[in-house]
């Protein structure tokens, strides 16, 4: 539980009624529950997940997110992501754009690579600040390993519903190959701290679709908003204790030839009194192996082949590997790399589905 009692999410703001799915039922192969997951994955690309069994690990990750706020900036900056498009490491407030005009974001976060966790204590990609290292064995590694299991189980259900041979998606997310998969702790200052975090109408983290396959997200305070498909409106997702929020990312849109949805979302000021509290959120992102080309898996599934046939030619062919896709999106979000509105276009993914490398 959070150390301070958080004000409740207000009941007078519109929210998105995500389907609530039961991980235990899904894992047990319950057909009705699997039908509901399939519906969620196709229509909104977002759902709540209960009974996932990762509550304790996620709770400890929230504490790490909070500790990031106490670390000296000089220390954090030693582990900064840089501007080349690498995701792993620390991202300081104000370093990425939240819109076409180049407005600065107002969250800090750190990303820990799944590869670095699995090879710990030997780094595969990079090293991290002490908050991560000192808690690797008790917190970060258990969170990553359990999140991998949840995400891989959900992906195998989508695989089966897509008509793909068992093991197809596992092969594209092989943990023995490098990938952009990572754990993330995000932190935004409370409104009362005199910070610029929560300026009215400004996104804290700009509208985006996720870059990889599947995101397993934990929220305590509101702020996450989902774009309602077919409209320009964004509505809050209400955090429910013990319920994770899951969403599909761009890679699954390409693999499925557009059958599945990677929905646009953003983070804004938490509603009502909640904005007076520090907002931490915790996520695990499963992304395909770096060398996997993002394209429809037409030869593995008649339904994917039919979906591609019905779509404009080449719509889901990116010509990019997953590693290139993620690096491009990160690189052009970085304000240091910004030349003008074209940089925003260059960072886009399936939000408009027009991007090529």
Binding site for ligand AKG (CB under 6 A): 184, 186, 205, 210, 217, 219, 224, 265, 267, 281, 283
- For ligand AKG, the closer of residues 98 and 217 by Cβ is 217
**From the list ligand AKG, Fe ion, none, partner contacted by residue 218 (C-beta under 5 to 8 A by kind):** none
Shortest separation between residue 244's beta carbon and ligand AKG, angstroms:
11
Is 173 or 333 the residue whose CB approaches Fe ion more closely? 333
**Locus of tokens 């779509």:** 311
DSSP letters spanning 238-304: ---TT-EEEEE-HHHHHHTTTSS----EEE-PPSGGGGGS-EEEEEEEE--BTT-B----GGG-HHH
- DSSP single-letter state for residue 73: H
Q: Which parts of the chain fold into alpha helices (H)?
A: 23-27, 31-43, 55-68, 73-77, 114-119, 130-133, 141-161, 168-172, 250-255, 302-310, 322-333, 341-346
Considering the complex, state which of residue 67 and residue 161 has its C-beta at the smaller distance from ligand AKG: 67
Of 34 and 96, nearer to ligand AKG (C-beta) is 96
What tokens does 251 get? 């890679």
Smallest distance from the beta carbon of 247 to Fe ion, in angstroms? Answer: 7
Separation of alpha carbons 61 and 39, rounded Å: 30
Closest CA to 239 of 8, 57, 3: 8
Minimum separation from the CB atom of position 301 to ligand AKG (A): 28
**What gap in Å lies between CA 206 and CA 213, rounded to an integer?**
19
Q: Is there a contact between 295 and 316 (Cβ–Cβ < 8 Å)? A: yes
Nearer to Fe ion, 212 or 258 (CB): 212
Shortest reach from residue 93's CB to ligand AKG, in Å: 14
Contact 95, 83 (CB under 8 A): no
219 binds, among ligand AKG, Fe ion, none (CB under 5 to 8 A by kind): ligand AKG
CB 165 within 8 A of CB 152: no
281 contact choice in Fe ion, ligand AKG, none (CB below 5 to 8 Å, kind-dependent): ligand AKG
Minimum CB separation from ligand AKG for residue 62, in Å?
A: 12
Closest CB to Fe ion: residue number: 210
Options 30-38, 121-129, 210-218, 316-324: segment touching Fe ion (CB under 5 A): 210-218
Q: Which does 173 bind (CB under 5 to 8 A by kind): Fe ion, ligand AKG, none?
A: none
Tell me the closest approach of the beta carbon of residue 323 to ligand AKG, in angstroms: 18
Q: Give yes or no for residue 210 binding Fe ion (CB under 5 A).
A: yes
267 neighbors 208 (Cβ within 8 angstroms): no
Check if the beta carbon of residue 71 is closer than 8 Å to that of residue 45: no
Closer residue to Fe ion, CB minimum distance, 181 or 301: 181
CB of 176 to ligand AKG, least distance (A): 26
Applying CB under 5 A, the residues found at the interface with Fe ion are 210
């Amino acid at each position: 539980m959070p150390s301070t009692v958080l004000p409740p999410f207000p009941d007078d703001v519109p929210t998105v009624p995500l389907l609530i799915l039961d991980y235990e039922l899904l894992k047990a192969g319950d057909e009705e529950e699997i039908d509901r997951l399939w519906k969620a994955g196709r229509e909104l690309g977002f759902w709540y997940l209960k009974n996932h069994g990762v509550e304790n690990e996620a709770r400890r990750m929230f504490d790490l997110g909070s500790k990031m706020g106490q670390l000296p900036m000089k220390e954090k900056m030693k582990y900064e992501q840089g501007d080349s498009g690498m995701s792993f490491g620390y991202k300081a407030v104000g370093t990425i754009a939240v819109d076409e005009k180049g407005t600065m974001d107002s969250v800090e976060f750190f990303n820990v690579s799944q590869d670095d966790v699995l090879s710990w204590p030997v780094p595969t990609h990079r090293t991290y600040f002490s908050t991560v290292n000192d808690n690797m064995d008790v917190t970060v590694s258990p969170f990553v390993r359990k999140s991998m299991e949840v995400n891989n189980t959900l992906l195998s259900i989508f695989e089966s519903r897509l008509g793909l041979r068992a093991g197809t998606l596992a092969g594209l997310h092989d943990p023995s190959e490098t990938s952009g998969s990572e754990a993330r702790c995000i932190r935004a200052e409370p409104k009362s701290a005199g910070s610029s975090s929560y300026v009215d109408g400004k996104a804290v983290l700009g509208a985006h679709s996720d870059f990889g396959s599947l995101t397993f997200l934990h929220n305590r305070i509101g702020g996450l908003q989902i774009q309602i498909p077919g409209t320009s409106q964004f509505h809050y997702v209400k955090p429910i204790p013990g319920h994770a929020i899951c969403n599909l990312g761009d890679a699954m849109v390409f693999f499925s030839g557009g059958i599945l949805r990677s929905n646009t979302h953003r983070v804004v000021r938490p509603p009502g009194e909640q904005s007076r509290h520090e907002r931490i959120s915790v996520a695990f992102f499963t992304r395909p192996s770096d060398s996997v080309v993002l394209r429809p898996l037409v030869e593995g599934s008649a339904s994917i082949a039919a979906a591609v046939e019905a779509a404009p030619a080449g719509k889901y062919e990116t010509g990019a590997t997953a590693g290139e896709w993620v690096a491009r999106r990160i690189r052009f979000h970085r304000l240091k790399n910004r030349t003008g509105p074209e940089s925003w276009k260059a960072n886009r993914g399936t939000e408009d589905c027009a991007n090529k490398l």
